[in-house]
Amino acid sequence: MLSGEERREIEMKLTDYPNKQAMSIESMLIVQRHRGWVSDESLRDLSELLGLSVADLDGVATFYNLIRRKPVGRHVALLCDSVSCWIMGCERVRDQLCSSLGTPLGGTTADGRFTLLPIVCLGACDRAPAMMIDGKLHEDLDEQRIEEVLAQYE
Ligand code: FES
């Protein structure tokens, strides 16, 4: 069930959008901000609130890769794998992250601390390789910097 706060935020935003369909992504992002991901139950609640079908919402969520439809860890690390980061060694960064966290890309650590996901360009190409954790950008990643960054998240 949507929380009162989630419902309030969505209803407030509705006034900014021309119709409820246009609110699909924003409403799922609001739920995700509160819960980390968008469950089937949340999708059903949003469907009732917005008067849209669950299938339509799910279709949007599938297409828009920033909507997470599976549970995630306490922190979500998004590792850029686009061209500049690839040139600057994002594969090395990925390997070190996977090894330090003990999870493959796309996975969640056994202790639920991190989910590690790939993402397209984060807009920090001049300081590649880069990743984003819980909305905070971390740039110029090398072996030492990766460990320093990870240590900031419990
Ligand atoms: S390619 Fe990675 S931040 Fe742009």
In 51-153, where does DSSP find H-type helix?
Answer: 54-63, 83-87, 90-101, 143-151
Q: State the pLDDT at residue 11.
A: 93
Phi, psi of 39, deg, nearest 5: -80, 170
pLDDT of 65? 79
What pLDDT sits at residue 63?
87
Condensed to tens digits (0 to 9), the pLDDT of residues 42-67 reads 999 999 999 999 999 999 998 887 89
- pLDDT given for residue 17 in this prediction: 87
Distance 59 CA to ligand 1 centre (A): 27
pLDDT at 9 (0 to 100): 95
Ligand 1 test: best mutation among 121, 127, 138, most atoms within 8 Å of CB? 121
Please compute the mean of the pLDDT values over residues 20-37 and round it to a whole number: 94
117 has which bridge partners?
Answer: 78
Residue 125, ligand 1, Cβ within 6 A: yes
Does 14 contact ligand 1 (Cβ within 6 A)? no
Residue 20 has pLDDT above 90, yes or no: no
The 3-class secondary structure across 105-121, one letter per residue, is CCCECCCCCEEEEEECC
The CATH fold assigned to 75-151 is: Glutaredoxin (3.40.30)
Is the pLDDT at 21 greater than 90, yes or no?
no
Domain boundaries defined on the chain? 4-63, 75-151
Closest CA to 30 of 53, 63, 57, 59: 57
Residue 93 CB less than 6 A away from ligand 1: no
For the chain, give the percent of residues with pLDDT over 70: 100
Mean pLDDT in residue range 114-118: 96
Higher-pLDDT residue of 65 and 134 is 134
For residues 98 and 101, give the distance between their C-alpha atoms in angstroms, rounded to a whole number.
5
Pairing of strands 75-80, 114-119: parallel
Whole-number pLDDT of residue 12 = 93
